[in-house]
Structure 1
Amino acid sequence: MSTIEKALAKQKSAQQELTNNQNVEQVNKSLSATSSETESTIQTTASAQQQYVEQQSREIYIDNDKLTERGFLHSGGDAHHQQEEFRHIKRKLLNNAFGAASKTLKQSNLIMVSSANPNEGKTFVSINLALSVALEQDKTVLLVDADVLRPSLHRELEFENDTGLLDYLCGDTDNVAEIIYPTNLVNLKIMPAGSVHHLTNELLASERMAKLANELSARYPDRVVIFDSPPLLGVTETPVLASLVGQAVVVAEESKTKIEDIKRATSQLDEELAIGFVLNKTIKTSKDVYGYYGYGYGRKK
């Protein structure tokens, strides 16, 4: 073999070795990228699974069968008359919240439910209204236990009164999402009252509460927020709450609530509120198809 041929063979061998090295480097890079992508996918999947588990652990389970046994609404038709009555009430509230009247009301999608005195059915009405709104196809509802002196949503719906409204107002948590709990009903979320505190009036009257109300009203344009509130008479917290909402529903018990009490109770509400009345525990007659609830609406005069 001549000197030239040897030189050409050596050059070819060097080029082949360089090509092999480049191929090996490309394979290594490809393997490294695949490994990184796989690791990232595994981490993402694990994170998603963890979030799902955490959400499931926070979810409040609404037992429709138990609610039905106790006279509450559910998605079935066993209490048709009751569902229809709450549909009528709900429709007026939704029209005020999202219709033409919403332009004249401050935070019209925030609704407080109260009564003149205790034990007249305000929590019963609050829950049924929330369950009825949750049946809407294009609306969601947040039910807030704002009866911070005597919280009862957790007893009625059978869940733990975990971190809630008062904990947020105290500054124990700064994340609003931590005090809003999902339920097994897609369109319904719940905010418990939270830990008992001796400064409930001051907390509800705080700037932090006002900002929370603004956030709840504005964050989701399709959301209705229902506050199960303390009675109006003898409780200083309720008028404070009333200043933050656009609508108020006052529950009265037939043959029990006095007209004078209703007048005194509503006199504490802001004149700009849209105020509705629900007559609870009425006696069904042959002339009344539904019988259990009546609803009246009007601006306070």
Structure 2
Amino acid sequence: MSTIEKALQKQREKNQQGSADQAQEETAATAAGNSPAENTADKVEQVQAASPNGNNKREPIVIDQKELKEKGLITDSTERQKIKDEFRYIKRKLLNNAFGSGASSLENGNLVMVSSGKPNEGKTFVSINLALSIALEQDKTVLLIDADVIRPSISTELNISPRKGLVEYLLGEVSNVSEVIYNTSINNLKIIPAGEPHHLTSELLTSDKMSQLTQELANRYGDRMVIFDSPPLIEVNESQVLANLMGQALVVVEESHSKIADIQKAVDSLNEDLAIGFVINKAVQTQKDMYGYYGY
């Protein structure tokens, strides 16, 4: 007996005090494939969601707008948010380099690496907000990738349940990258989680398959920005390899904490052909202050 048939049998037994004949007709119709299409689809979807072995990876990721607001992240509400204005300013430069006047001088301009010199300077916060801001565009989509597979944070910040992601694709456990690209409840936003921890994460990020993936993402959709939340740049060799595959880079700098020497060291490790910008994070703001952003 198939999983679907078992589930229907269980439902029939629960309802046998009602109409046993009607339940038998529904089972027969489903087995024969003669029930209305939308009813059958509903039942199959319910069984898959209930079954521990069901294929749940295609379920969209639900992102709670209330939680976004509580964490200081951009929401899709009509409410005016200062952070929206700040990231609107940042994304305009990136979009121009990817699709506007700056595109002709950049290779893979729609691939943006977000990193920092050292951990805990706010790169994931910037990555998520940048993706949320671009998702508000009417004619663009954005793919947010948790490429910091050593210390992934995006799933935690967005309360995403564990599921296959970048690591599983690079290991060959899934055959097509589309299997780990998840739709979300936010229009125009898709996500590739980091996936399960693995002892070869460093080698995976520097593999030929990762290089091939970035080329596919750069060329597959002409209207898509791809944001990589990447490992810190200092003393993490895979970040420097990853940077060679990008068209643009944002280096997150923590105000009153990041050292000039570290910032210089981080930038020196980047490909000189990259368009590089800086975001000053955790700044003490006045009404006139915004996130610092220094051109290219």
- Give the TM-score taking structure 2 as reference length: 0.81
Pair 1:120–1:42, CA change in 2 (3 A): same
Alignment RMSD = 2.3
> For residue 207 of structure 2, what is the aligned residue in structure 1?
206
2:83: which partner in 1? 82
Q: Could you give the per-residue CA deviations for residues 159-210 of structure 1, whole angstroms, max 9, x where no partner exists?
A: 1231100111011111111111110012000000012112222211211111
d(CA) in 1 for partners of 2:80 and 2:225? 24
Equivalent-residue separation in structure 2 for 1:196 and 1:56 (angstroms) = 18
Say if 1:55 and 1:185 are closer, same or farther in 2 by CA, change over 3 A: farther
The letter for the 1-side match of 2:180 is I
Other-structure match for 1:270? 271
- Give the aligned partner of residue 100 of structure 1: 101
Report sequence identity in percent: 53
Identify the residue that residue 297 of structure 1 maps to in structure 2: 295
Task: List per-residue Cα deviations over 1:14-66 (Å, max 9, x = no partner).
Answer: xxxxxxxxxxxxxxxxxxxxxxxxx7996799569868987896211111111
Matches within 5 A, 1:87-166: 87-166=88-167
- Checking the alignment, whether the CA contact within 8 Å between 1:89 and 1:295 is kept in structure 2 is yes
- Deviation, 1:152, is 0.6
Counterpart amino acid of residue 295 in structure 2 = Y
Alpha-carbon distance in 2 for matches of 1:105, 1:55: 38
1:244-259 equivalences under 5 Å are: 244-259=245-260
Question: Secondary structure of the equivalent of 1:147?
Answer: coil
Which whole-Å deviations, capped at 9, do the CAs of 1:205-226 have from their partners, x for residues lacking one? 2111111111111111110000
Inter-CA distance 56–238: structure 2 relative to 1 (3 Å threshold): closer
Q: How do 1:63-74 residues align onto structure 2 when only pairs under 5 Å count?
A: 63-74=64-75
Classify the secondary structure of the residue corresponding to 2:295.
strand
1:58, 1:201 → 2: CA distance?
Answer: 29
Unaligned runs of 5+ in 1: 1-38
Deviation at 1:285, TM superposition (A): 2.4
> Any conservation in 1 of the 2:142–2:225 contact (CA below 8 Å)?
yes
Q: Kindly report structure 1 stretches of 4+ aligned residues shifted beyond 3 Å.
A: 39-57
Helix, strand or coil at the partner of 2:279: strand
TM-score under structure 1 length normalisation: 0.80
Helix, strand or coil at the partner of 1:151: coil
Q: Deviations over 1:54-79 (max 9, x none)?
A: 78962111111111011001123555
Contact 1:116 1:261 in 2 (8 A): yes
Give distance in 2, aligned partners of 1:253 and 1:72. Answer: 17
**Paired amino acid for 1:277:** F
- What is the CA distance between 1:100 and its match in structure 2? 2.2
Aligned residue for 1:184? 185
More helix by share: 1
Query: Gaps spanning 5+ residues in structure 2: where?
Result: 1-32, 49-54
**Corresponding residue for residue 15 of structure 2:** none
Distance of 2:250 and 2:146 partners within structure 1: 15
SS at match of 1:58: coil
Q: Secondary structure at the match of 2:86?
A: helix
Tell me the distance in 1 between the aligned counterparts of 2:38 and 2:64. 33
